[in-house]
Amino acid sequence: MYNSKITGLGYYVPENVVTNDDLKEFMDTSDEWIQERTGIEERRWIDPKSGDTTAVMGFKASKIAIERSGLQKEDIDFIVFATLSPDMYFPGGGVQVQEMLDLPTIGALDIRNQCSGFIYAMSVADQFIKTGMYKNILVIGSENHSGGLDKSTRGRNVSVIFGDGAGAAVLSRSEEKGKGILSTHLHSEGKHAKELMLEGPSTSRWVPELIANNNPEDVSYYPYMNGQFVFKHAIGRFSEAIVEGLEANNLQKEDIDMLIPHQANLRIAQFIQQKFQLSDDKVYNNIMKYGNTTAASVIIALTEAWEKGKIKDNDLVVLAAFGSGFTWGSVIIRW
């Protein structure tokens, strides 16, 4: 059986920076209020005039990742694209990136697992490579939240959290034993689906129905989150996923060289860091700058940490995420 190894990383975020103070122009909030609850100082929101979309950002991140991998774009033989915010209801972003990169008629798979999307996408790509079906897979996480947020005081508990951005990794076949992705671990608990969701537009809340109702108080087309409930479950499931990954590889928490948690809330990441007794140099957070970019958050943070030299050869790198679904999981990597 082959191993899969990350050979290229890249990320892209919009140029438009939105600070906490900027948000005060259209909602009742403050920098202190936001930082105290989330740790976020600013985020990137797409400027509608820029031409950026979920697929375009994924394309831009992918070009960087492919160039850094040392491969030619024609060497990519499959795409896995994770997002909750595709440019269109259908088709998904995978085929758009295939067209933008001018690739041959390779397969493109879309993953809809929200904050856990990149973890799920990496797991899928890892299995395709380990079974010998594909050699080089482009794995993308990209999100455009800003266009669908309730940017009023009514929606502030959610809208202050989310940002836009994309990241990409090239996963390649390797025969080097004990290196690359050691294992992946995926879970779900659908009974809590409505605690973090976007109900419509959907097949249960079609646009014509929303228009016919003409109800300005109908918020079903804005994201909903039961914040305290989600926080409570996140800290538990994060821990479980990390422990499961370590135990599967006969490793201890002391073996972790770098933990990249999904950037949902700085308080969650700090809780996990304390629980596993990890020093500051063994956990990477960037939610302060970008907010929660959902499926893009882990790959953006991973890329930044690598760019800054915080990840070195032979390091044990742990990726973990929890989000809507509920879904959660981990990826254990020997760099």
Residue 225 belongs to domain with CATH number: 3.40.47.10
Contact of 242 with 276, CB cutoff 8 Å: yes
Q: What would the two tokens of residue 310 be?
A: 């915080």
Q: What is the largest CA-CA distance in the chain?
A: 60
Query: What integer pLDDT is reported at residue 73 of this predicted model?
Result: 96
Domain boundary among 113, 141, 174: 174
pLDDT at residue 198, as a whole number:
84
Q: Which amino acid is at 93?
A: G
Compute the residue count for the chain.
335
Which residue range forms the structural domain that includes residue 244? Answer: 180-334
Q: Which of 220, 233, 222 is nearest to 191 (CA)?
A: 233
CA 132, chain centre distance (Å): 26
Same domain flag for 199 and 136: no
Nearest-10 Cα torsion for 93, 95, 100, 102 = 160
Domain co-membership, 158 together with 288: no
| Residues paired with residue 283 on neighbouring β-strands, in sequence order | 259
The pLDDT of residue 261 is 97
262 catalytic? Reply is: yes
CB 60 within 8 A of CB 168: no
Residue whose C-alpha is closest to residue 322's, from 119, 168, 20: 119
CB atoms within 10 A of CB 213: 12
Per-residue confidence in pLDDT tens, the chain, 335 aa? 799 999 999 999 999 999 999 999 999 999 999 999 999 999 999 999 999 999 999 999 999 999 999 999 999 999 999 999 999 989 999 999 999 999 999 999 999 999 999 999 999 999 999 999 999 999 999 999 999 999 999 999 999 999 999 999 999 999 998 999 999 999 999 999 888 888 877 777 676 666 667 777 777 778 888 888 888 888 888 899 999 999 999 999 999 999 999 999 999 999 999 999 999 999 999 999 999 999 999 999 999 999 999 999 999 999 999 999 899 999 999 99
CA distances from 146 to 1, 7, 101 (A): 42, 31, 25
Cα distances (Å, whole numbers) of residue 69 to 72, 231, 262: 9, 36, 24
* Domain edge (last residue) among 174, 191, 208: 174
Assign 131 to helix, strand or coil: coil
- Secondary structure letter of residue 91 according to DSSP: S
For residues 162 and 219, state if they share a domain. no
Reference 296, options 192, 176, 151, 166; nearest CA is 166
Catalytic residue among 113, 115, 185, 233: 115
292 classed as catalytic: yes
Task: Supply the pLDDT for residue 200.
Answer: 76
Number of domains in the chain: 2
- Residue 291: per-residue pLDDT: 97
Catalytic residue among 3, 144, 262, 265: 262
Residue 166: what residue type?
Answer: A
